[in-house]
Amino acid sequence: MYENDGTSIDKNNNNSSEEISESAHEEHGVSTNQDVIDRDITETPPQADTELTDTLMVDVVGIRFKKAGKVYSFDPCGFELKTGDSVIVETARGMEVGQVARNVVKVLESMVNKPLKSVVRMATEEDMENAARLKAKEDEALMECVETVRRMNIPMKLISAEYNLEGNHLTIFFGAEGRIDFRELVRELSHKLKTRIEMRQVGPRDEAKLIGGYGRCGRPLCCATFLNEFNPVSIKMAKEQNLPLNPMKISGTCGRLLCCLGYEFEQYRDMKKELLKNGENIQTSMGSAVVVGGNPLKGTVLLEVESGARVEMAMNEIASKNQEKEKEQEKGKEQEPRRRRRKKR
C-alpha cells in the first residue's frame, strides 16, 4: 500500500482546531453522499466500470522529508521529477520542502490511499533560504519550550522542533513515560510564538533517530542514517547467533535491542540448519560423542567424547566419515547373502 503524509493526523495534538474542522467536513461529506447511496442502492453498476477501476493506473512519486525518513507517496501533477529533486508539497501541516526519493511510477489506483496530496511546484532558491531561516528558528522555539516546561514542571523530555515552510505550524517532539496533559503548555506556547503548536510524543527508538549519535560499533546510528522503518527485533535473534544474553551488550543507545541483530539472523538460521543439533550422539574416531555446541561461520561442531574432553570438528569431516560408514554397511549387506549360501552348503 502506498501511504500519504497528508492523510495522517496526530492523536496527541490537543490544539486541534484544524482536526475538528477536517472531521466536521468528513461528517458533512457522509451526510451529503447518503442521498446518492439511497438513490443508487437498487442499481447494479456495470461490470465494465468495475474492471476499469481495477485497471486504472495513476502516477505516484515518493517524497522524503528527513534523512533516513519514511517515504510518502504524492501526486506528481505532471512535473518531470528525478531522485534528489527538491519540491514543495502539500501536507496535513501545510506546505513543506521534500526530496524525491522514488521516481515517478504508475500504480493501480486501488493501491493508493486517497486522497493523494499533490506536488505544488519545484523548490526555488527562495524556498530553500526560507527553510534554512526557519531551521535556525527551531532551536529558539525549542529553548522557549524548555523554559516553559521547566516552569510548569511537566514531566517530559523535549527532543526537537520543526516548522513547516510557511512558518505557521510548529511540531514539537517529546518523550515521556506515560500520557501527558499539555493543553496549558500548548496555549502558552501558541501565545508566545504566535503560531500553531502540535505536540507529538515519540518512543525511545524514534528519539534516538531524531537525536542521532554513534553506536557501540563506532559508526553513526543505523536509524539515523539509512533505516526508513523499525523492524521487530527479538531476543530469539540474539540466541540464534550465539550472542551473550546480557542486556548491556545487545542493547543500543535507545535502550532497546540492537537493530543490527536482525541483519544476519536469517543467514545464521540457514547455516545452523546444516549443523548437528545439540545433544545429538555421533560416532567418531575417538568413540561416541555428544554435540554440545557449534560455530555456523566456521561450519564446525563442538563434541564431547566419553572421556569428557571436548573437540571441535568440521561438518565436512563428519559427513565424509558417515559416508564411509554407510559404504561399509552397504558392503556388509551385499556380502550377507553370500555368507548364508556358504552355511547352507
Q: Are residues 247 and 281 part of one domain?
A: no
Per-residue pLDDT at 34 = 33
Confidence grade of residue 332 (pLDDT, cut at 50, 70, 90): low
Q: Are residues 225 and 192 part of one domain?
A: no
Last residue of a domain, one of 73, 94, 123: 123
Q: Are residues 99 and 16 part of one domain?
A: yes
Could you give the number of structural domains in the chain? 4
Per-residue pLDDT at 335 = 59
Domain with 114 in it: 5-123
Per-residue pLDDT at 89 = 93
- The answer to whether residues 196 and 170 touch, using CB atoms and an 8 Å cutoff, is yes
Show the cell assigned to 57: 493506473
Q: Are residues 210 and 163 part of one domain?
A: no
What residue spans of the chain are helical by DSSP H? 17-40, 47-55, 125-152, 183-193, 204-211, 222-225, 235-240, 247-250, 265-273, 315-344
By mean pLDDT, which of 31-40, 42-51, 203-212 is the weakest?
Answer: 31-40
* Amino acid identity for residue 318 in this structure: I
Confidence grade of residue 5 (pLDDT, cut at 50, 70, 90): very low
Q: Is the pLDDT of residue 87 over 90?
A: yes
Task: Sort 96 into a burial class: Cβ within 10 Å, 0-12 / 13-18 / 19+.
Answer: buried
Per-residue pLDDT at 299 = 86
Q: How far apart are CA 205 and CA 253, in angstroms?
A: 9
Confidence grade of residue 43 (pLDDT, cut at 50, 70, 90): very low
The enclosing domain of 136 has a CATH number of 3.30.300
Q: Are residues 241 and 295 part of one domain?
A: no
Q: Are residues 278 and 257 part of one domain?
A: no
Mean pLDDT of the chain: 79
Q: How far apart are CA 101 and CA 295, in angstroms?
A: 40
The enclosing domain of 285 has a CATH number of 2.30.30
Q: Are residues 228 and 247 part of one domain?
A: yes
Closest by CA position to 145, among listed 205, 92, 191, 176: 191
Q: How far apart are CA 143 and CA 193, in angstroms?
A: 12
Q: Are residues 149 and 107 part of one domain?
A: no
Other CB atoms within 10 A of residue 225 CB: 12
Per-residue pLDDT at 314 = 86
Q: Could you tell me if residue 74 is inside a domain? A: yes
Per-residue pLDDT at 97 = 93
- The answer to whether residues 83 and 102 touch, using CB atoms and an 8 Å cutoff, is yes
Last residue of a domain, one of 76, 100, 123: 123
Q: Could you tell me if residue 342 is inside a domain? A: no
**Residue of 139 and 46 predicted with greater confidence:** 139
Q: Could you tell me if residue 242 is inside a domain? A: yes
DSSP annotation string for 264-281:
SHHHHHHHHHTSPPTT-E
Show the cell assigned to 121: 511546484
By mean pLDDT, which of 69-83, 137-151, 309-323, 329-343 is the weakest?
Answer: 329-343
Q: Is the pLDDT of residue 112 over 50?
A: yes
* Amino acid identity for residue 149 in this structure: V
Q: Are residues 281 and 264 part of one domain?
A: no
Q: Could you tell me if residue 116 is inside a domain? A: yes
Span 240-271, pLDDT tens digits: 898 988 988 999 999 999 999 999 999 999 98
Confidence grade of residue 63 (pLDDT, cut at 50, 70, 90): very high
Closest by CA position to 4, among listed 103, 70, 54: 70
**Residue of 234 and 36 predicted with greater confidence:** 234
Cα-based angle 251, 257, 258 (whole degrees, multiple of 5): 75
Last residue of a domain, one of 271, 291, 313: 271
Q: Could you tell me if residue 248 is inside a domain? A: yes
Q: Are residues 264 and 175 part of one domain?
A: no
Q: Are residues 136 and 63 part of one domain?
A: no
Q: Are residues 98 and 137 part of one domain?
A: no
Name residue 74's beta-bridge partners: 61
Per-residue pLDDT at 252 = 92
